[in-house]
Chains A and B, each alone.
Chain A
Amino acid sequence: MTENSNQNTNVVVERLRAWNPNAISEVIEFRGETTIVVPRNVLRVLAERCRADKELQFNLLSDATCVDRYPLEPRFEVNYHLVSIPRRIRLRLKVRLSSDDATVDSLVPVWPGANWLEREVFDLFGIRFNEHPDLRRILMPEDWEGYPLRKDYPVEGYRDIPSSATRYTRNRP
């Protein structure tokens, strides 16, 4: 099964390379999964190509998520997991973003299902998606400060919640 899927995904890489040789900056094969590292400026056209190409038909966006490699730079990696239901193949698109300009084109125009996934990445990592129709926090409260899944955000959070003992003593004259 792994061999078969490897062959299939290599076809994907060749197909995309034939379409635009500059669209792929790196191909990573690890444990039977193919990852295509994409330059930021071609992400949306490449995604559109993946969906519309008759030989590929990546019609389902399975997942979108982010990895924070702080303190390394480029710090963020946004991963899109694509599925081609007719071809039975999976593919991961990866975009690397540096911390001073963590912005990337939204894929909502390609797959409307990217809407909430990108909102989640924005909410927890602070990545901005250009032309996202509704970019606001989704899991955290609207007035939350900071991006909790960043590596420089402590697990316990920033908020200093007073214990009940200090709360009682503070109110006393």
Chain B
Amino acid sequence: MISSMVETATGGAKTMVLNMGPQHPSTHGVLRILLELDGENVVRAIPDMGYLHTGIEKSCEDKTYSQAITLTDRIDYLNPLGNNLAYCLAVEKLLGLEIPKRAQYIRVMMVELQRISSHLVWLGTHAIDLGAMSVFLYCFREREEILKIFEFVAGQRMMTSYIRIGGLALDLPAGWRQRVEKFLKMMPGRIDEYEELLTGNRIWMGRTKDVGYISAEDAVALSMTGPTLRAAGLAYDNRRVFPYSSYPEFEFDVPTRTDSDCFGRYMIRIAEMRESLKIIRQAMGKITADGPFRTEAPGIIPPDREKMKTEMEALIYHFKIFTEGFSPAPGEAFATIESPRGELGVFVASDGSPKPLRVHFRGPSFINLQALPKLIEGKLLADVIACIGTIDIVLGEVDR
């Protein structure tokens, strides 16, 4: 179909075909869009992806349940902790595991930090696409602080693999509270700074207001989720609607708007960052100094290092877990979380062997991108860039 479009469209009277990407900076990766243009107006848009397809779902089938966690980091590389969480929730559902409250609160705190860092990357790159260079530098300055916290806690800045089946990889290190506290003190003022630069800025409003409108009915019909759906007026947030990890114990708002354009989505994400700060503050109050950071399930969760030195059983379990893995009962589980981009779902099917029969990721970027032609067809070429940015795609997740 793509090749036929290239052949025929130029033969037509008025339109031309413009090949945007896959190496275009504003596509945030390797997305190719075939645009049929009539002057400056987009007549038809055909997204073409797969340039980053690495077969992660196939690779997961060849790993044990625990080994596959490292692959989940690499799907949506701006939200590795969220991917870890979604995958672990699915496997835990399959196993029927209960997670200690303390581990759940730590998970919430880390995932909300991740949400802020992801929104910061989005804001910075979206602004740079539309010509606002300085916001990018400020956003990455604050993101760096979050990545430093991740490095301090998990030992890795991006590919953390920190959330594991049954809990966490490690307990929080001494001194984490001061670091997160320092970040929480700094951040609200910094968000005000971004808003000062952008929210009332006439150029910013001109580039984003009334650009990329989609109605709530169309957004739901096209399976859109996340900030794009909430900007259309539907308060669909998995943290509220299908709660996980003790989210009902936290107080936060789900911001919605009705304008459903690029500006509305920008305002939603800014508001979400502020809500995430509230959640992190509450989670810090709930995390006790001592307590378990993972559940106890012999044969599934690796035993304590100390126990292994004194107990024969623990040593045997440790050996079995890391050589053979564990075998959940045959069945299927689908777990969803609210990732910064929308509903991130993980479907895991087990056939009773130590390796998953099937792992599938419902990537919100992939599904939200489907609405791109709806947003841009009939609009100006310059708005295409604003629309790609506003969907907030991560090509690693689109192509998997």
Contacts and interface: CB of A to CB of B under 8 A. Distances in A.
* B interface SS class: mixed
A68 B57 CA distance: 13
A111 B357 contact: no
A86 to B, nearest CB: 10
A31 B95 CA distance: 9
Contacts of A117: 223, 367
Closest 8 CB pairs of A and B: A113-B223, A63-B362, A139-B50, A65-B360, A139-B53, A113-B222, A67-B358, A30-B331
A30 B332 contact: yes
Interface in A108-129: 111-117, 120, 124
A35 B332 contact: yes
A62 B53 contact: no
B336 interface: yes
A88 B223 contact: no
Interface hub of A31, A67, A111, A115 (most chain B Cβ within 10 A):
A31
Contacts of B362: 62-63, 65, 81
Given A61-B223, A68-B358, A111-B221, A149 B57 contact: yes
Contacts of A69: 351, 357
B334 A149 contact: no
Given A60-B225, A149-B57, 12 more contacts: A1-B243, A31-B94, A31-B333, A32-B93, A33-B334, A59-B221, A67-B332, A67-B357, A69-B351, A69-B357, A90-B242, A148-B55
Nearest to A150: B58
B13 interface: no
29 contacts: A30-B331, A31-B94, A31-B331, A32-B93, A33-B332, A33-B334, A35-B332, A59-B220, A62-B343, A65-B360, A67-B332, A67-B358, A88-B241, A88-B242, A92-B332, A111-B223, A112-B222, A113-B222, A113-B367, A115-B370, A124-B57, A136-B1, A137-B50, A139-B399, A139-B400, A140-B53, A148-B55, A149-B57, A155-B58
B223 A149 contact: no
A149 B60 CA distance: 11
Contacts of A120: 366
Contacts of A61: 223
A173 interface: no
B202 to A, nearest CB: 36
A134 interface: yes
A33 B220 contact: no
Contacts of A138: 49-50
A113 B370 contact: yes
A155 B62 contact: yes
A79 interface: yes
Interface in A54-99: 59-63, 65, 67-69, 79, 81, 85, 88, 90, 92
Given A85-B234, A113-B222, A155-B59, A31 B345 contact: no
B349 interface: yes
B96 interface: yes
Nearest to A79: B347
A141 interface: yes
B236 interface: yes
Nearest to A119: B370
Contacts of A155: 58-59, 61-62
Given A31-B96, A63-B345, A139 B49 contact: yes
Nearest to B334: A81
Contacts of A140: 50, 53
Contact of A65 (B2, B61, B347): B347
A112 B371 CA distance: 10
B53 A149 contact: no
Contact of B223 (A62, A65, A68, A90): A62
Contacts of A1: 243
B50 A141 contact: yes
Contacts of B357: 67, 69
Interface string B38-50: 0000000000011
Given A31-B94, A81-B345, A62 B358 contact: no
A104 to B, nearest CB: 17
A33 B333 contact: yes
Nearest to B48: A138
Contact of B236 (A31, A85, A137): A85
B76 to A, nearest CB: 15
Nearest to A30: B331
A116 B367 contact: yes
Contacts of A148: 55, 58
Nearest to A68: B358
Contacts of B222: 112-113
A159 B358 CA distance: 23
